[in-house]
Amino acid sequence: MAELLLELGVAVAGIAVAGALATRVGLSVIPAYILVGVLLGPNAPTAILGLPVDFVSDGEVIAVLAELGVVFLLFFLGLEFSVEQLLRDRRKITTVGSVDFLVNFGIGAAIGLAFGWTLVETLFLAGIVYISSSAVVTKSLIETGWIANEESSPILGTLVFEDILIAVYLALLAAVTGGGGLREAAVSVGVAFLFLGGLSVVAWYGSAWFERLFTTGSDELFILRVVGLTTLVAGAALALGVSEAVAAFFLGTGLSQTTHVERIEHIVAPARDLFAAVFFFAIGLSTDITLLAGVAGLLAVAVVATTAGKLVSGTLSGRVYGLDQRRSLRVGLGLVPRGEFSLVIVALAASIGTGRLGSVLPAFTVGYVLVMSVVGSVLVDRADTITSAILPSSAEQ
């Protein structure tokens, strides 16, 4: 017990230090959490200046906390899912979301096939490079003040569409890769959709019941109920071979129609932040960065192609919303960062662990997220310079 507790202490303290350093230099915290995981984990580097730094093993305690991180990331995604906004702007959101998906998922699929990956590996790769980071993107929107400008509408609309798509995508992939042949895959897809269908019906019609279930004066009882129910639903899903993350997403959408949203934001969000930080750290723990050298070519191609992909799809999305060239380009710049959801996808890949899914893909994804979150921040910071360089004709404002 002493050893476990000490390991966990080292882990969380390391995460805290990494987060503080990242914030000090103005970078996103997600790559910092991963890096400290790489550093303290069992893989290289195991020693710095002759002193051992492999303090934390990739054990069950951290694995469970990391799992809760995935569950709560997706739970909050569902909780904050704006059905109203989706319905109000459904045509525009569907258009920009489809453009975003076709361009970026297409580029990912093309890269995978060009490098001779199998179909399933390619599907994972395409998902990883397709999905933008909601956390990093909204944070940079706020920091730049773009949140108050017109370019925020297509950016947020795209994120809303990506949220739905990631839920469907994870559900499908989890079911398809459940093992066995075509027939077993078909059965598990069926089970998955029955379970998720049931859950979404409960979510949709159970609002009143949720409303009563979570009504309590005590914050302590409140957080216990929310965390208890979410973890229970996620665990039941996993036991049935359904994606626990998707189950949590549906539960979140069910709660999004109740009056408890604000309170969950206030009281449960810190728990989500803690678990999610451990999840990013755990990704770092399991990453073997020595594999990065082998995927350097793939990484370079992916970074260049998928940055360009988001710029193109974002610019088109801005046009759909009737924005001028300068603002449309900003939409593209704003959507470049990739982060937590790429890591959620790769966690699923690593849990399957066959072929490239268990080794090369995690290393690639960690490298990719590190590069893309930095590239994304730099692009947004330098947005005015970039837009005036690309659009010399644009009038000064």
Partner 1 sequence: MTVYETDVPGVGKKFEVEIGGEERLVIVIHHDGKREVFHKSNPDADADRVFSLTGQRAREVGAILQGAYFQPVETDSVDVPLGDAIIEWIDVGDDSPLAGQTLADAQVRQQTGASIIAIQRDAETLPNPDADDTIAAGDILVTLGTRDEQSAVEGLVTPDDDG
Binding residues for partner 1 (CB under 8 A): 76-77, 80-82, 84-85, 134-135, 138, 142, 145, 147-150, 152-153, 156, 159-160, 163, 262, 265-266, 269, 324, 397
> 66 CB contacts (<8 Å, ≥6 apart)?
275, 278, 279, 281, 282, 283, 347
Work out how close the CB of 76 gets to partner 1 at its nearest, in angstroms, rounded to a whole number.
Answer: 7
Q: Which is nearer to partner 1, 138 or 207 (CB)?
A: 138
The H-assigned helical ranges of the chain are: 2-25, 29-40, 60-79, 83-88, 90-114, 119-130, 134-144, 152-176, 182-205, 207-213, 219-239, 244-255, 261-267, 269-285, 296-320, 325-334, 340-352, 360-381, 383-390
Residues 334 and 314 sit within 8 Å (Cβ to Cβ): yes
What backbone torsions phi and psi does residue 48 show, to the nearest 5 degrees?
-125, 125
Work out how close the CB of 261 gets to partner 1 at its nearest, in angstroms, rounded to a whole number.
Answer: 9
Work out how close the CB of 201 gets to partner 1 at its nearest, in angstroms, rounded to a whole number.
Answer: 23
Q: Which is nearer to partner 1, 60 or 262 (CB)?
A: 262
- Tokens describing residue 242: 């359904």
Work out how close the CB of 265 gets to partner 1 at its nearest, in angstroms, rounded to a whole number.
Answer: 4
Q: Which is nearer to partner 1, 4 or 269 (CB)?
A: 269
Work out how close the CB of 147 gets to partner 1 at its nearest, in angstroms, rounded to a whole number.
Answer: 6
Work out how close the CB of 113 gets to partner 1 at its nearest, in angstroms, rounded to a whole number.
Answer: 33
Work out how close the CB of 105 gets to partner 1 at its nearest, in angstroms, rounded to a whole number.
Answer: 21
- Tokens describing residue 124: 């994972």
Residues 397 and 361 sit within 8 Å (Cβ to Cβ): no
CB burial of residue 5 (10 Å; 0-12, 13-18, 19+): exposed
Phi-psi region of 242 (alpha: psi -120 to 50; beta: other; left: phi over 0): beta
Q: Which is nearer to partner 1, 81 or 117 (CB)?
A: 81
Distance CA 189, CA 63 (A): 26
Q: Which is nearer to partner 1, 118 or 149 (CB)?
A: 149
Q: Which is nearer to partner 1, 58 or 324 (CB)?
A: 324
Residues 284 and 366 sit within 8 Å (Cβ to Cβ): yes
3-state DSSP call for residue 47? Answer: strand
Work out how close the CB of 157 gets to partner 1 at its nearest, in angstroms, rounded to a whole number.
Answer: 10
Q: Which is nearer to partner 1, 211 or 324 (CB)?
A: 324
Q: Which is nearer to partner 1, 143 or 184 (CB)?
A: 143
